[in-house]
Amino acid sequence: MTRASRGARGAVLAIMASAVLGAACGSSDGGATSKRVTFTPCEGDYECATVDVPVDYADPGGAKISIALLRAPAKDPAARLGAVVVNPGGPGQAFVERLATTYPVLSAAFSEATTRFDVVTFDWRGIGRSAPIACSDDALFERLRSTDLTLETPGSLQAVTELRTALLGGCLAKADARVLRTMNTENAARDLDRIREALGEEKLNYLGFSYGTWLGATYATLFPDRVRAFALDSATVLARDLEGDIAEQGASYELGFARFFEACARDAACALRGTGATSADPAAVGQRLDTLVAKAKTEGGLAAGARRLSLVDLHFALADGLRTADWRGLASELAAAEAGDATKLLVGADALMGRTADAHYDTTVLGLLAIACLDQPFSAVPTVDAFQTFAAAQRVAHPRGVAALLPWALCAGWPHARSGARVAVNAAAAPKALVISGRFDPITGYAQGAELVSQLGNGSSVLTYEGDGHAAALHSSCVRDVVTQFLLDPSKPPTKTSCPAE
């Protein structure tokens, strides 16, 4: 995979994820049984279908929306054990269309699993092909990318305030408010149960990545008797509010940058390494990065061919570079930007922001905001002015972790509130899960693995990946092997508690 992928929460990611389904039928939360889904050929060698779900599960007989599915059949039908549902985290990653292009990578990484299981993915409600919300045009997204969402530069407060007003006004005029009010994780879990039911599966086996681990934990809380094997990679635990989440993310980014600087200083082939007396000095690498960020800030971005890489773009690209832990690749792109060509960083930023090849924008950013602002509203940041004060304190605490602030100024005073309190994760009645956490994960900190296990309360275990980067299975064949064996036979305890860096 390229570095132009998607990150969780502060940095949008296009990661592979997978989930495995058992086999039979059950009743779903909130009403009538779904009909068995019928797949039809689409996207080349794949199959598509839709599952109708209630907009509001408190009114199961009311309005419905369709959740889009895509399936890649098992490579060996004679040995088939079930189906695999792909969840890439995000939140709000539209994956139905993207699975067709990423499946070959997934298939190679999880060869045994994709031989014996269908691979199925779905778009979260309001995202991609599942009743997508529409709040703005392409011009507004271009404006978002050129606006200092950290509210540090002169004039940024007014610019962000106006941007937020335009975005929310567009949602009010164009989007279905009923869908916007229900795009939380609990409803995504209920939709997932309708998918399980429509596939004819009695028990759900699930592999979720990043924010997808929170979806898995929520599903296990709501439907503990419908769980077979849950593997949760890059464990994510939502803080009490968005303020807490931003602070935790900022600290994780700081750790990631420290690891990057140290690795670059040790590597003679690292393009951002110092020279002479500073050749092996991590601080020299950090200084070059800081100088580049300062240039983007003062000059309104960096040259990138006929376009410019904005400050927001740069911060997102940096966060994604930490996610992949491709230190040489990240350093090479930053060195090119130093030399006047930030084109490669811009290509990555375009993918992160959902800019398509025809210069239009998909639901990536809207999905991220609609879900996260609903799942985790601010507790004490009601206005953009208040966010500016909060952001200033975060920059002092985590000066290189400012990507954690993006794009959350737009959540201040988010008008679409959930109908009740967030469901507290407690899956004591569900089977044990395999929880995976990276020792140096710069997106979801290592401690979140143990915290998720504690909240699940069902004796789950933690598999530690001892390397860098986010989504351990993307970096480690050892992790992939443990995950595959767990999904194939969850009755056997994991053979390892840790996997070495690769």
**For 258-293, how does the pLDDT look when each residue is reduced to its tens digit (9 = 90+)?**
999 999 999 999 999 988 877 889 999 999 999 999
272: Cβ contacts below 8 Å, ≥ 6 apart: 264, 285, 288, 289, 331, 334, 335
Local confidence band at 25 (pLDDT 50, 70, 90 cut-offs): very low
**Statement: 20-132+185-238+421-499 belongs to CATH 3.30.428.10:** no
- The mean pLDDT value of the chain amounts to 89
Range 131-146 average pLDDT: 93
Helix (H, G, I), strand (E, B) or coil at 84: strand
pLDDT for the residue 12 = 31
pLDDT for the residue 274 = 81
pLDDT for the residue 28 = 41
C-alpha to C-alpha distance for 213 and 471, rounded to whole angstroms: 11
Question: Residue 130: left if φ>0, alpha if ψ -120 to 50, beta else—which one?
Answer: beta
pLDDT for the residue 304 = 96
pLDDT for the residue 279 = 81
Closest CA to 461 of 490, 419, 424, 421: 490
Instruction: Note the pLDDT tens digit of each residue in 167-205.
Output: 999 999 999 999 999 999 999 999 999 999 988 889 988
C-alpha to C-alpha distance for 374 and 486, rounded to whole angstroms: 33
Helix (H, G, I), strand (E, B) or coil at 489: coil
Instruction: Note the pLDDT tens digit of each residue in 362-405.
Output: 999 999 999 999 999 999 999 999 999 999 999 999 999 999 99
Q: What is the DSSP string of 277-321?
A: GGTT-HHHHHHHHHHHHHHHHHTTSEEETTEEE-HHHHHHHHHHH
pLDDT for the residue 352 = 87
- Alpha-carbon dihedral sign for residues 193, 194, 198, 200: positive
Which stretch of 161-165, 191-195, 352-356, 446-450 has the lowest confidence by average pLDDT?
352-356
Local confidence band at 90 (pLDDT 50, 70, 90 cut-offs): confident
- Alpha-carbon dihedral sign for residues 16, 5, 327, 397: negative
C-alpha to C-alpha distance for 360 and 340, rounded to whole angstroms: 26
Q: Is the pLDDT of residue 14 over 60?
A: no
Neighbours of 357 (CB within 10 A): 6
pLDDT over 90, % of the chain? 75
Local confidence band at 29 (pLDDT 50, 70, 90 cut-offs): very low
C-alpha to C-alpha distance for 460 and 454, rounded to whole angstroms: 8
Closest CA to 150 of 390, 485, 360: 390
Q: Is the pLDDT of residue 33 over 80?
A: no
C-alpha to C-alpha distance for 442 and 324, rounded to whole angstroms: 10
pLDDT over 70, % of the chain? 93
Contact 156, 188 (CB under 8 A): no
| Pairwise pLDDT comparison (26 vs 306), residue with the higher score | 306
pLDDT for the residue 197 = 92
Cα 491 from chain centroid (whole Å): 29
Local confidence band at 48 (pLDDT 50, 70, 90 cut-offs): very high
For 305, the token pair is 């061919």
Pairing of the two strands 307-309 and 64-72: unpaired
pLDDT for the residue 11 = 34
Q: Is the pLDDT of residue 452 over 80?
A: yes
In the chain, list all ranges with CATH 3.40.50.1820: 20-132+185-238+421-499
pLDDT for the residue 9 = 39
pLDDT for the residue 416 = 87
Which stretch of 99-113, 247-261, 423-437, 441-455 has the lowest confidence by average pLDDT?
99-113
Contact 38, 122 (CB under 8 A): no
Contact 62, 54 (CB under 8 A): yes
pLDDT for the residue 236 = 95
Q: Is the pLDDT of residue 116 over 80?
A: yes
Q: What is the DSSP string of 174-235?
A: HS-HHHHTT-SHHHHHHHHHHHHHHTT-SSEEEEEETHHHHHHHHHHHH-GGGEEEEEEES-
| C-alpha separations of 195 from 10, 55, 110, 188 in Å | 28, 15, 22, 10
Q: Is the pLDDT of residue 13 over 80?
A: no
Q: Which residues does the annotation mark as catalytic? A: 210, 441, 470
> What amino acid is encoded at 375 in this protein?
D
Contact 19, 208 (CB under 8 A): yes
Range 297-311 average pLDDT: 95
Tokens 């050749």 sit on residue: 279
